[in-house]
Structure 1
Amino acid sequence: MDVDCMTQLPLSTFPDIRVVALTLADEAELQQFFEQAPDYFIAVNGEPATLTEACDELQVQLPAGWACSRMHWLGYRGTDEALVAVVNIAADLLADGVWHIGLLLVDSRWHGTGLAQQLHSDIERWAVENGAQWLRLSVVVGNTKAERFWPKLGYVSVRTRDGITMGRQVNRVSIQVKALAGGQVKDYLALVERDRPCTP
């Protein structure tokens, strides 16, 4: 898995926001960003960000048998250079052309500004330019903000999985996908056997 994301970064079309690659050198700043978002971590992990949350995330390893061509950690900086959003995305996860958004987190001070939607639009365009045909993500059932947000952007659920341990809690998650090249859900399921509803 290539974690070098110094090239081919998406461009931000949101005013006064620029995109940078995040590395282990940004661990302390990312940790502070995570600690300022307790609501998100409580919703998905059942607890606020741990003391090693940023370090763990920046060095995350894929489950056994999974592969991707590149893992991107993206930071979005405002005019004061502070992080206003972070995104983790894995290119070609599980199959060529499937890009998985592992995290899209916007600072609460920027909620309601349209940043999250524009950031996603920029990422979608960038992913297509780099060969993506599908965007994929997991939504924790019960995380109402996420359950409302993603369908508005065109994502559809293809299956749910129970018993997913995240932090202190065991979650039920909805696997959701969005076609970027005119495909249909059946095309995606033919490509990614794991996400077929009847697959263990």
Structure 2
Amino acid sequence: MIAISDPPSILTEHDAGDVADLYARCTDYFMLQDGEPATLADAIDMFRDVPDEKSSADQTIMGWRGENGLIAVGVILRDYPSDRVWYLGFMIVDSAARGQGIGRTIYDMIEQWAAAHGAQEIRLAVLEANEAAERFWRSLGYRELRRVGPDTFKSRSHHRVELYRLLGSNLTVPPAQ
């Protein structure tokens, strides 16, 4: 099993080169989503891409390193789309490290961190075409909120499944749309 850094490091745009290297090892995902490999510009965009009503200061980008560099990234946006609802905008694990429980471990760290900082619910969206990812998220207790799209990602168009998971004492409270 691949060892990961614990705790994660907080990434900044200065880490875009490392993120681009990780993206290059995750070509399968970017071919599915975009129809083409990711670039350094895509890595830089990860640090800047937030909804109009938010700023990059509302976003935390966590990185986990292994023996060969960055092996996973998680991007979480605070209080979006509403207070105490946080959005996991992106999480990716090096393709060589998948299937070893690393994604689950990383998600657990993200959830614990978010809950400790005030999150009561986490939402995310998965491409309908990414059935393995949807199974992964549902195995962690995520439930479907709605289906959205289609949205265009470079040369591909996708519908997405928006999922949610209530945290802590909120487990019995249905989410607001």
Verify same fold: TM over 0.5: yes
Aligned pairs for 1:77-88 (under 5 A) are 77-78=65-66, 80=67, 82-88=69-75
| Displacement after TM superposition at 1:50 (Å) | 3.1
| Displacement after TM superposition at 1:186 (Å) | 6.5
Q: CA RMSD in A?
A: 2.1
Q: CA separation in 1, counterparts of 2:94 and 2:140? A: 19
Residue in structure 1 matching 2:38, options 49, 53, 64: 49
Work out whether 1:36 is the aligned partner of 2:13: no
Q: CA separation in 2, counterparts of 1:70 and 1:61? A: 9
Where does the alignment leave 5 or more consecutive residues of structure 1 unmatched?
1-13, 193-200
Q: CA separation in 2, counterparts of 1:153 and 1:138? A: 14
Aligned length: 175
1:4 alignment counterpart: none
SS in 2 for 1:188: coil
TM-score in terms of structure 2 length = 0.89
Q: CA separation in 2, counterparts of 1:110 and 1:100? A: 24
For residues 5-28 of structure 1, what are the alpha-carbon distances to aligned partners after superposition, in whole Å with 9 as ceiling and x for unaligned?
xxxxxxxxx955231111111111
For residues 8-55 of structure 1, what are the alpha-carbon distances to aligned partners after superposition, in whole Å with 9 as ceiling and x for unaligned?
xxxxxx955231111111111111111111111112222221341111
Moved over 6 A (4+): none
SS in 1 for 2:39: coil
Where does the alignment leave 5 or more consecutive residues of structure 2 unmatched?
none
TM-score in terms of structure 1 length = 0.79
Work out whether 1:118 is the aligned partner of 2:105: yes
| Displacement after TM superposition at 1:181 (Å) | 3.0
For residues 44-87 of structure 1, what are the alpha-carbon distances to aligned partners after superposition, in whole Å with 9 as ceiling and x for unaligned?
2222213411111112131x345787201111012x36111111
Residue in structure 1 matching 2:9, options 13, 20, 32: 20
